[in-house]
Chains A and B, each alone.
Chain A
Amino acid sequence: MAEEPVLALENVNLRFGEKWALKNVSLKLNPGETRIIFGEAGSGKTSLLKAVVGLIGVDTGRIELFGKDVGASKERDLFALRSRAGFLFQEGGLFDSLTVGENVEYPLVNQVSANGQPAVENPQEKVREALRFVELEHTMEQFPAELSGGMRRRVGIARATVTEPPLVLYDSPTAGLDPITANTIMALVAKERDVKNSASLIVTHRYQDGEIMADFQYDPAAQELVTMDTCKDERKRRRTRFIVMKGGEIVFFGTREELEKSSDSYVKRFVRKGDM
């Protein structure tokens, strides 16, 4: 089936001084697909996410986001493009001078759609819905500083997904959280993917995060994640791929089974490292 890819990178290179942030990176992402990105600190994972939406420019290579060349676009034109991609920052990146509700509302009232009008008519209802999705509706009036780390991350997810973007980029959604909170967050990420069929790039250190994405799906009837072992839909089963990065390069790309069978000592480090 010939689908227009959400995202396509071709031989992307980026160097900070002597250090390669991205080296000859190529990848493709179709609607509804997930890429789990592992790699040691400084291996270019965050740079990859930021380059995708043009937050940092790359030296050479081509990045196509929704069919548009990011590198050739002006900052002004990128605003419209970026509004179609949700971004969860490592620290949440919430505006601390705004309440939780205002934070989630921000993209709705400030993003301008192609015809020059704010994208949504009734932002309050959308905000409530997005916060209900991450089970934080009661925090509407609170400020981000009053929330715990896990709650802030969830607000970040609500803000990144409130406009229902076809692509969501998650930068370490579970870093520094206890396993239970981390699993809650990953369940939300999977739910987001399955309910809205959005594509996602997920940078993480936890192998389990990848397992959840690869092996589980959200069951709208039961309102929880269920295993995909019995799932007959081959497409669904194969939509999650794993990427391992080292020194800006993609050193592994493949399915979970292939990842677990890998004999490369660097790649093996990211398999089943358990709770961190």
Chain B
Amino acid sequence: MDIIGFGSLPIVILTGFFSGAIIALQMARALNTYGASSEVGAIVSLTLVRELGPVLTALMVAGRNASGIASELGSMKVTEQIDAMRALGTDPLQKLVTPRLIAGAVMLPALTVIADAIGLVGAYLVAVPLLRIITAGEYWSTSWRALVVNDLAQGLIKPLIFGIIISLVGCFYGLKTTGGTQGVGKATTEAVVSASIWIFSVTFLIDKIFVNL
């Protein structure tokens, strides 16, 4: 939990900050054409909370931790440590998978909330002091008012599911590792690729459900 949570904090903060700042930069130009620059806060907060915050955070954590879990469990598999657990009459699923599942499910929503908040700060720095298209008060009130319960629910359910996916995929590829150290490398790569694909397809599915709500 410590590794997934605090270890991922720097990269998640960075990703959040720059995605917020970039959306603000791009949107400021586009919105200006329609004379709607004042809506920049709303656009940033909606995009971040609903979509980019959860997905980008999940991808970063997948890169860090799905790989980490897969290589750790993979090494244990190829050095007979998993077999040893079973041979000693204990359940590797309970000892290895359960704690990682819980860590993923708890930590990813927390990280996503942090990424969202930092992203809003990044966008603020671009929109207010840098481009001066909007005042601080306007920015924060529009970005806050744009969000409804539906958005927040989406923004929290997604990372919860992503957290579970990342841990499960990591464990799955780790535990089915064969073929020595080479196999560990392969399992690690497969875990990241597969976790990323899962994240994209699940986010689409959740969007589909929420759009219809």
**A residues neighboring B (CB under 8 Å):** 50, 53, 55, 75-76, 78-85, 87, 89-91, 93-96, 106-107, 110-112, 159
Do A95 and B89 have beta carbons less than 8 Å apart?
no
Contacts of A107 in B (CB 8 A): 88-90
Residues of B within 8 A of A159 (CB): 88
Q: How many A-B residue pairs have C-beta atoms within 8 angstroms? Tell me.
A: 60
B138 within 8 A of A: no
Q: Which chain A residues lie closer than 8 Å to B88 at the CB level?
A: 82-83, 87, 106-107, 110-111, 159
Closest to B83 in A: A55
Residue B98 lies at the interface, judged by CB distance under 8 Å to chain A: no
B176 within 8 A of partner (CB) = no
Which 7 A-B residue pairings sit nearest by Cβ, starting from the closest?
Answer: A83-B89, A93-B84, A87-B87, A93-B80, A82-B89, A110-B90, A107-B88
Tell me if B81 is interfacial: C-beta within 8 Å of chain A: yes
Q: Which of B79, B87, B89, B91 contacts A96 (CB 8 A)?
A: B79
CB contacts (< 8 Å) of A96 on chain B: these are 79, 81
B84 and chain A: residue at smallest CB distance: A93
Are the C-beta atoms of A79 and B87 separated by less than 8 Å?
no
Main SS of the interface on chain A? Answer: mixed
- B145 within 8 Å of A (CB atoms): no
Residue of B nearest to A110 (CB): B90
> Considering the chains assembled together, what is the distance between the CA atoms of A94 and B80 in angstroms?
8
A85 to B88 alpha-carbon distance, docked (Å):
8
Contact A80 B89 (CB under 8 A): yes
Q: How far is the CA of A32 from the CA of B91 in the complex (A)?
A: 28
By a CB distance below 8 angstroms, the chain A residues around B84 are 87, 89, 93-95
Whether a CB of chain A sits under 8 angstroms from the CB of B208 is no
B81, B83, B84, B86: most-surrounded residue (chain A CB, <10 A): B84
Give Cα A50–Cα B79 distance, bound, in whole angstroms.
15
**Set A53, A82, A87, A95: member contacting B81, Cβ < 8 A:** A95
In the bound assembly, the distance between CA atoms of A81 and B81 in angstroms comes to 19
